Structure 1
């Protein structure tokens, strides 16, 4: 066998560059926070942090519990039972993922606010007492928890359903033989076996909740992310914002550690000879009606109402006919930036995944881990860390241009959409890595060994063997990254140059002006764009191995 060099092989050069790209803003954020000093931190601890920490903890705790209950319960009902509409609901339940949280919040404020149709109808029917004094306030922390849970629960649903489909039927059969009732079977057998997968989905729910600034700010919830955003933009306190963001990063690290501990407990053994999946139990009568209601309600609240409201506003206000060159330009800008970022992410992900496959060393694994950290970091916090390196790089490029041409150049990067592409690449690198890694993990390592025995060098092995194996997953991975880029609001809002608008910022801008209906068409386009990845994910989930073979746990960003 050929001798391996003590230095990192050339195949790790591009993955190392990707890891450095992700690590740079995190180091910059830490340095900026340290430069703020203990005095600034003490001031924040006395004013901002108590409220921000309390509301962040309440939001994450409430959303985590409610989304986990909805997602795991719905996954068990459509997997273990048959009732009218159960097969259709198995495809419909992931649909709320297509609606960004900020769009859902804007829609429900329009519907449930004091001047909305619901309270106006109650006021006309029963007087002002019920409509005003007794109606819950939609711009509040409890409302934010409920809305986030009904939009983000599909992360738990997808993970839990994949685990339920991959369970060993003999375990369930043994539990039924011992007299377990359906409720006990779910709580004492199915749920503990699926706990690691559910923990992955719940962690992603919490990370998405922490990342949001559009919905939380609009609903009046002051999380750590919103507080960092406010300190930076409204108070021009970059050091204070970096310190708040660093605390939010500690929360992210804690979530990832807890999720990893749950993953480490995920091993169990099933019968390798069992290939048949247990038949679902048929529900009839009132039980079937209750199951149908419990599964349909999340779809209605999380997808049907927001999407229906947007479609109704587009038709009622004739927004499609009135769409002028400005909206077409914003759509083109959104698509162009998303396509550019998607191309870079996919190419970089291919390099990282192939390097880890061909050189399965500890260094390669660590590089892949660091390169994927951007997905766990909220967009606002990522931008705070990215701001310093981008300004430094812009300054260096301006000086180089001045030396070469004698002309002054300013904001070469910060004045263009290149900064958004860089932020998207860092933010969604893990999406491509996980999707391609899952595809490559399905191929046995003996294929690589045979190719090496036949004399294939690493480059030939990557080009002729591994890359063709990745082709089935390339389209799905690209679709996931593309739609994530279209939906991203915090990074786009903070880094976009002047006079550059995407669909997400158009929606946010219309809501900020108090005329959200004007952005209904842009919001509807974002929702429709998200339906493709949802269909792809649902189809992939239905192909989960059934019976004795245990499917790999869904990873973060694999949704």
Structure 2
């Protein structure tokens, strides 16, 4: 114990707190007591749940790769009117959660919606006279996810096309390869690890979703966890389903690393960006513009316009004091989580920079794993130990005072913020770590030579240089907490709603007009970090 420093103890404590929810879920995997519920689910919906989850991953992964790689190739290698606009605008669908798109498109495409109504009026059709695809289906859910998650693949593939293989592309052209053959034989193999990484991020978001699949009535592991906990009242069965879902996530990460293999890229090739190729004209330019417009229109412009129409024309009866209360709750949770997340991430990243040893490295790695864990899994993992702690505290308090205080922590804001931190601390950690990596170690040496200690160096040297990274990290955490639905639904205090939960509950009751203002607020806040990212994309390309 003499060799363990206070800094190592602090890192170990943070790592233990972040790992506790996942550990509590895994600890219940082989526990007895939930067998009856699991047997009931296995006989009813579990086989369909497994098939739906696998098919959803297959559809979303393929669709995101197709859209993301295609858009990245068009805006990176070819030149056509509007290319500079599409370079940054194609990331805008990330601002809209998939469950918001599900509500909007259901309102438009359902039987009583304006589109089918216009078709019946135009052609004189009645019910049963025509076929129209059902939006509330597995395929419809996959399309919602593809529309908002393809930017993950687009961003990473675009970076790979820009930074890798510029020299090789020129060599391919001198050997007579056209743009298409050069893409298939040179650019795509070089970008494969980035494409797989982007698709993995999209699939993890798909597995973590609850609002979309629940609204469309598609059984997945996330809806199964919620049903086991609330409908069947079986905490242990919910934990076992959560552990199975966690296994899906681990399998995805393993497949991503396997696909990456031992691929490495030389710095010489990475330093030579790929030049924009020939300019497209005529029908080819029109085709490129349409190909870029479709995902942008379907994933952002049309849903935003439809929400705005609902809010302005039909109105929200709950807009006013109720909306302000929801916004206050959401901003309070998001703001507190962002502040705590940035503070903890800064301490962890700075401790690793100072050479905190194995404890610092382990804490950073464990803290970064939370983003890969679905919110429903984290919610179950937090509630199990917190509930047990609550019961123990209540027993101790009753033994001391003779009065049982009830649950002190369960169903409180503190437990919910703790779940958010476990889920999103990795985002802040990666952003701040990247900012610290850009600060040369020689600046630390210079500060020490001037007599500054570690704390003073952080305060007077690093913090001014990290303002942009700290702001970006806080903004990303803030937006993700605003959009988070599964953990909030499971863990929110009684009679405590946020914009996300209000949007879901109103949409589930088919009150889409009343849900429009809350959904617009979520999308509007989601645009903030994307404006920063879009500006960096535009400046970096020029």
The bucket for the TM-score relative to the shorter chain is: over 0.9
What is the deviation of 1:382? 1.1
**Does 2:356 correspond to 1:354?**
no
3-state SS in 1 of match to 2:219: coil
* Counterpart pick for 2:60 among 59, 63, 73: 63
Does the CA-based 8 Å contact 2:162-2:273 persist in structure 1?
no
Which whole-Å CA distance do the structure 1 matches of 2:271 and 2:57 have between them? 39
Equivalence for 1:526: 522
Change beyond 3 A, Cα 1:276–1:161: closer
**Does 2:373 correspond to 1:368?**
no
What is the deviation of 1:133? 3.8
What is the deviation of 1:399? 5.2
Change beyond 3 A, Cα 1:364–1:31: same
3-state SS in 2 of match to 1:82: coil
Which whole-Å CA distance do the structure 1 matches of 2:362 and 2:44 have between them? 39
Equivalence for 2:216: 219
Q: What is the RMSD of the two structures over their aligned residues, measured on CA atoms?
A: 2.5
Equivalence for 1:549: none
Change beyond 3 A, Cα 1:251–1:7: farther
Moved more, 68-77 or 39-48: 39-48
* Counterpart pick for 2:384 among 373, 380, 388: 388
* Counterpart pick for 1:424 among 412, 420, 437: 420
| 1:139-538 to 2 correspondences below 5 Å | 139-263=136-260, 265-271=262-268, 278-319=275-316, 323-359=319-355, 361-398=357-394, 408-449=404-445, 451=447, 457-538=453-534
3-state SS in 1 of match to 2:496: coil
What TM-score does the superposition give when structure 2 sets the normalisation length?
0.93
Does the CA-based 8 Å contact 1:165-1:544 persist in structure 2?
no
What TM-score does the superposition give when structure 1 sets the normalisation length?
0.90
* Counterpart pick for 1:103 among 95, 100, 104: 100
Which whole-Å CA distance do the structure 2 matches of 1:442 and 1:116 have between them? 52
**Does 2:32 correspond to 1:26?**
no
Change beyond 3 A, Cα 1:38–1:228: closer
Which whole-Å CA distance do the structure 1 matches of 2:461 and 2:239 have between them? 45
What is the deviation of 1:544? 5.4
3-state SS in 2 of match to 1:499: coil
What is the deviation of 1:309? 0.6
Which whole-Å CA distance do the structure 1 matches of 2:100 and 2:325 have between them? 21
3-state SS in 2 of match to 1:519: helix
What is the deviation of 1:142? 1.1
Change beyond 3 A, Cα 1:276–1:24: closer
3-state SS in 1 of match to 2:30: helix
Q: Deviations over 1:34-62 (max 9, x none)?
A: 22369455554444332111110000011
| 1:38-57 to 2 correspondences below 5 Å | 39-40=35-36, 44-57=41-54
3-state SS in 1 of match to 2:275: coil
Does the CA-based 8 Å contact 2:208-2:376 persist in structure 1?
yes
Which whole-Å CA distance do the structure 1 matches of 2:397 and 2:2 have between them? 39
Q: How many pairs does the alignment contain?
A: 541
* Counterpart pick for 2:122 among 101, 104, 125: 125
Structure 2 unaligned segments of length 5 or more: list them: none
Which whole-Å CA distance do the structure 2 matches of 1:261 and 1:446 have between them? 37
Change beyond 3 A, Cα 1:187–1:363: farther
What is the deviation of 1:87? 0.9
Which whole-Å CA distance do the structure 2 matches of 1:508 and 1:518 have between them? 11
Which whole-Å CA distance do the structure 1 matches of 2:154 and 2:8 have between them? 36
Change beyond 3 A, Cα 1:9–1:102: same
Structure 1 unaligned segments of length 5 or more: list them: 547-559
What is the deviation of 1:379? 0.8
Q: Deviations over 1:481-540 (max 9, x none)?
A: 001111101011111111111000111111122212111001001001111111112233
What is the deviation of 1:328? 0.7
Which whole-Å CA distance do the structure 1 matches of 2:541 and 2:299 have between them? 29
Does the CA-based 8 Å contact 2:109-2:115 persist in structure 1?
yes
Moved more, 414-423 or 81-90: 414-423
